Structure formats: C-alpha cells, structure tokens
Chain A
Amino acid sequence: MLLKNGRIIDPVNDVDHVSDLLVVGGAIAPVGTAVPDDTRVLDVSGCWIVPGLIDMHVHLREPGEEYKEDIISGTLSAAAGGFTGVVCMPNTKPVNDSMSVTLFILDQARKGYARVYPVGAISKFSKGESLAEFGEMKDAGIVAVSDDGLPVVDSQLMRRALEYASDYGLTVISHSEEMSLARNGSMNEGVMSTRLGLKGIPAAAESIMVYREIALSEYTGKPIHIAHVSTAMATELIRSAKARGVRVTAETTPHYFTLTDGAVEGYNTNTKMNPPLRAEEDRQAIRTGLTDGTFDAIATDHAPHSPLEKEVEFDLAANGIIGLETSVPLSLELVREGVVSEKKFVELLSGNPARILNLPGGNLSAGMPADVTVINPDLEFEYHEEDVVSKSKNSPFLGWKLKGRAVLTMVDGKIMHNLLQ
C-alpha cells in the first residue's frame, strides 16, 4: 500500500514533511524503495500520516462484563478512533492478577482490531493486601502493573510494588485517590456540588496520593506513572518532581482538558467519572501541563458502562465514560488552540506511551510493522449515539460537533478502519 501526499509526522525520527509512505509486506518500507507494480494507492492529501496511536489507559471489560464491552468491540472502537494499540486495565471479572487471565486476554485479542497490551494487577484480586505474580504475568505478556479503579491504600505495599516491578522492567501505574477523603463523593467538591446537592470529592484527594507516589518513587528510585490526572495541584506536584529528577510520568484525558464540573448541571450521569470533572482553574492547569511537558501522554480512560449502570440516580451511577472515538478530535482542539504543536500531539498519543511502557511502535521507522494512523484534521462530524462503535454509549460528547478524525487505521499493514474508500 502506498499512502500518497500525506503530511508524515514522526517525531521519533524527526520527520515532518509532505511525502508518501510505502508499506510492503506489512512493514514500513525504507525511503526510496521502488513501489511494486500491484501496490494499492491511497491519496491522503491534506491528511496526516502518523505512527499508530496508542491509548495507554482503557477498560475492555472482558473477561466478565462483556455486556458493556469485549475485546473485539473495544478494539473495533479503538481502530475507529485511530488507535492501533490499547493498554487494558486489569479490573475485569476476574481481575487480571494471574498469568491465566493475561493469556486469555491476549488470546481473545488475536481476533481484535488493534494490538492489546494487558496491565496486570499490583495486588491479588486488587485487594491491596499482597503482591500479584508480576514475574509470571510478565512472561505471559503484561506491560505494566496497576490496581486501577482503586488506589493502593497500603504505602508499604506500594513501595514493594515499585521495587519488585523493577525486577521485570514493569512500570507501576497509580490510580491516585485518597479514599477516606473522596469517600462517597460523586463529583468535584466546589460551588457546583453545593448547588446540585451532590457529595463532593475534594481536589486534595488526588494530590495527597500523587504526592505519596512521588515520594515513594523518589525514595526507591523506581519509575511511577500517574494515571488520569485531573487537578491543578497534582499537575504542579508532578511538574516539580520532574524538575528535580524523579522518575515520574503522567497522563491526563481529553475530558479533563475539555470539560469542567459545570457539565454536571442537569445530572447527566455521563459526566460522572473518577476522578471527577474539576473546576475551570484545574482544566486550565491541565492544558498548561500539556504545553510544558508535565504530561507525557493523553489517554482516554475508556470506561464502557451500559444503561443499567448509567440510567439511574446520579449518586448511584457508575463512574466512567467511553473515550476511544473522541480522543483524536478533542486532542486536535489543543493543536488548533495552540496548546500543543502537531509534533507534541503525536508524541502524547503515540511515541510517549510506547516509550513509557516499552511498547513496540510509536514511530514510523523503516522495517517496523506498519502500525499507521491517517488523520484528516479538518474533517468535521457530529457524534451521535447511533455512530458509536463501542458497545456502550456513555459519552458526554454525544451530540457534539467534532473536528478532526482518523480516516485510516492500519495494524501490521492490515486496514482496520477506513473512511477513505
């Protein structure tokens, strides 16, 4: 396949120019390779050709909650959103805390539409009591460990996790939440929670735990990755830790840099997630953190839920929203508003997640398997429930006019999503 006249943006190789990309035998061909006679040619003028996007934080719900999402539907949603790889969190039923669950996930993923990189649990059953078998799970194919969905309450266990994970080159991903402070809350604590009469989760519930993780990483010298950062204070803690050389990396999500707790007005349960949507000052601080490199990655925290969990009273609704299909246009808004450059956009959504978790991909180097995303940055579309590819429809962006879209997603040279014809 020959992608003609696209703007190739490949920060790892310091490439940003309009050119053609040739894929031969499922791999990216070196520049100057003669185009074979039977090559399919797609004109991608006006589009960006970027390394396959990687979402380093998704919930695929299989095994156990296949009525919300499964590995096939989740990877189909990923491909539709431009992602060639997804990193799936272990809070399935059962929890991915053993080699057998990891192997099951990877087996299901062989029929999927994107690469699936499982995360193993930090603790057995994610109960926060004793370490899960990182070594065996690593052999089976996990790329990181996390008890995501829950914090590791016990600081000694977290310290041991950082140390033991390093034996296997695994990064620990922290769901940073001080549970006793966040207790029973269902939205950000502030004037909106007061007016709506909903129990609040203070910003400090995040920053207290982010600081603990930084302190443990600094003390042990082991890397830590902070998931789904939502507050100004946590952003500042990460910024200052990075400045003094702590091995901390961090992600934020499109909803935290796009929405605020004002979106909860009307009690739409698709605005309920954990951590919650925060104040405008937090949203601005997240955007600054994206500009100055405090954040390494944009992940979606794609969290499918069915109407059973969402069409209920706000306090009773499950946390989480889907995000794979809206990440590209919402992140491109940052480019349009000058918050990040095109290059930075690609780093946040591809190169950096690959680097943090030692994943293949994240670049368009010659000879690499052809994981490629083609984005039309000007394509406008309205996102409606009937357009959602994911099995679940719990998005706060339904009805939005979005701009910029993945028009071709290629994994290993195979087309998984194509709006180009």
Chain B
Amino acid sequence: MTTGYSFSHKHILSIHHLSPDDIDFILTTADSFKEISSRTIKKVPTLRGRTIVNLFFEPSTRTRLSFEVAAKRMSADTFNISASTSSATKGETLIDTARNIAAMHPDIIIIRHAFSGAASMLSQHVDASVINAGDGTHEHPSQGLLDMMTVREHKQHLDGLKIAIIGDILHSRVAHSNILGFTKMGSRVFVYGPATLIPHGLEKLGAIVCASLDEAVIDADVVMTLRIQKERQNDPLFPSLREYAKKYGVTKDVVALARPDALVMHPGPINRGIELMADVADGPQSVILEQVTNGVAVRMALLYLVMGNS
C-alpha cells in the first residue's frame, strides 16, 4: 500500500470509485473483523449509538440480513424499511423518501433499489453515509468486495489470477462490480455468456470477452457463475432455460478445465440445474457459503470505515 494512505470515502457507491489501495484496505480491515463472528459473544461496541437504516426497495434476503448482522455485531441500532419500487414510483419520490429518512438523522443508509444510480442520487440528498447494496444493473460493491476477500483468503493474492465469469453479464450488477474490482487488483477477468447478455463496451472496462465456455474457464483460478433471472424471460435474449442450461450451464466437466484448485463461486440465489449444476454447487471446490460468511465481515468493515469518514 502506498505510504501515507488513508481511506477517504464517505459513501460506498461503486467499485469504480475505489482505488486498488482502497480495496486492499477494505479487505484487510474485513479480514481483521472476521474473527468477531467466530466469538461466543459476537459483539463489539465500535458503532454503539450509531443509527443505520436498511432501505430496501427490492426484495432481498441475504444482502439485507448480512448488513443487519454486520451492523448488530458492531452494536449499531438498525432499522429496516422495505418499500416496493412500484408503489414508491406511484407515490412518494425517492428524493422525498430520502429527505424524510434524513430528517431522523441516521448515520448510514444502506440502499437497494431497482434503478441504476439510485444510491448516487440518495447520496446527493442526505447527510448520512450511503452504502449501495445493489442499484439496478449498475453495481453491487459489497458483493464484489466479499468475492475478492474470499478469493484472496484462498489464494493469498489477487494479482495474476484468472477469473472466469459466466452468464448474464448484461443484467448483473455483481458481474460489473467484480469485473472492475478484480481488474483493479491485477486479476485477468474472462467473461462468457450468450452474446445477447454481453453488454457493449465490456472490453473497455478491462474484461476479456471469450468466444467459448472452454476458453473462459481453461486454467482459471476462479469460476464464477451468475444467476439467470427467470423473470427476464419475456425479453427474448435466449430461446429457453433448457438450452441455456445445456449450452452455458457450468457442469463438473466444465470445472474440470479450470485449475485443480480453482474456486467455484456464485453470488446467490442459485438456480440449480440452470446456470450451475447441483453437484458443482455442493462440490469440494465450492466456496459459496464462505462468500456469505465473508459478506458479514466486509460489511462490518464498510460500516466502520465510512463512519471514520463522516
């Protein structure tokens, strides 16, 4: 890390806005917080008296729970607000909602929203720190960070690794954060999926777009699959889930092309038998549940670090 480094972000809106030093510092901080979750008394007083609002406009189980657990382990007071985006757009605007919540003086607002840019917009209208827990098809920075943490734990470093990301890159905010994050940390990110799900200009973000599944996966250190969103089936981006599973699904044979010590990852929730076969998801190379465990540590680190800069 560069000498004289200090973490200077009030908000965590995207991986794009973080430097390699920032990412390194967050991951190192998360490593040190991980131990707290294995104690008998899983609580430290670090954020006592702080108010944290979970503002979720989209259904979420694991991310919301992960942030809530992280906040509670730091002794913060947490409040959950679930609002359906559709009713919000018919009635109160996001800015009005933000101003109302801001009037209650929270220290941190964690937002999940169906529209890209919602976290950025919120940060411009409140005094609190804002953490983006996923906005539209933009980014999901805490997921990217927990993925990097998990890989670094196993491989001790991120530079020079080959990361294969397979599936719906177009709609995946997780993929966007991971492509930016792993690339910043010196990994090479290979992506593959149906051409209809590979967004324009991806190479300019640093990804290597592959012509086949084999090309993406061969000798990879990490094989990450992405969730196919079944609700997008109305938009004819590929013919059927059946064909998707057959042509783009990650099977044991596919994983065999990667390095023997390759990690299998998935941001969850998994469509078993579609993008990822059950035997791979539950196999010895899978670190899917470690990702979840590390999610708490990364989010504790983020809450701690943004409070240090508020």
Contact = CB atoms under 8 A, between A and B. Distances in A.
B56 to A, nearest CB: 15
Interface residues of A, number: 21
A192 B205 CA distance: 9
Contact of A194 (B94, B136, B199): B199
A313 interface: yes
For B89, B173, B200, the residue with the greatest tally of chain A CB atoms inside 10 Å of its CB is: B200
A193 B117 contact: no
Interface in A36-67: none
B277 interface: no
A15 interface: no
A338 interface: no
B224 to A, nearest CB: 18
A16 to B, nearest CB: 45
Given A314-B117, A316-B89, A193 B139 contact: no
Contact of B200 (A193, A196, A197, A313): A193
B176 A198 contact: no
Contacts of A199: 137
B121 A197 contact: no
A109 B118 CA distance: 41
A191 B116 contact: no
A60 B200 CA distance: 36
B115 A314 contact: yes
Contact of A266 (B95, B120, B202): B120
B93 A197 contact: no
A36 B105 CA distance: 70
Interface in A287-321: 311-316
Contacts of B202: 191, 194
B176 A197 contact: yes
A316 B118 CA distance: 11
A6 interface: no
A191 B93 contact: no
For A196, A312, A313, the residue with the greatest tally of chain B CB atoms inside 10 Å of its CB is: A313
B205 A194 contact: yes
Interface residues of B, number: 26
Nearest to B180: A195
B89 A198 contact: no
A195 B115 contact: no
Nearest to A311: B95
A267 B205 contact: no
Contact of A197 (B95, B173, B201, B204): B173
A114 B249 CA distance: 64
A197 B120 contact: no
Contacts of A30: none
A199 B170 CA distance: 9
A206 interface: no
Contacts of A311: 93, 95
B275 interface: no
Contact of A267 (B120, B173, B200): B120
A190 interface: yes
A74 interface: no
Contacts of A190: 200-201
A120 interface: no
A368 to B, nearest CB: 50
27 contacts: A189-B201, A190-B200, A190-B201, A191-B200, A191-B204, A191-B205, A194-B201, A195-B201, A196-B117, A197-B116, A197-B117, A197-B135, A197-B136, A197-B138, A198-B117, A198-B137, A200-B199, A200-B200, A267-B121, A311-B95, A312-B94, A312-B95, A313-B94, A314-B121, A315-B115, A315-B117, A316-B89
Interface of B: 16, 89, 93-95, 113, 115-118, 120-121, 135-139, 173, 176, 180, 199-202, 204-205
Given A313-B115, A314-B115, A315-B116, 5 more contacts: A194-B202, A198-B136, A311-B95, A313-B117, A315-B136
What 4 pairs across the A-B complex have the smallest Cβ distances?
A: A197-B138, A191-B201, A267-B117, A197-B116
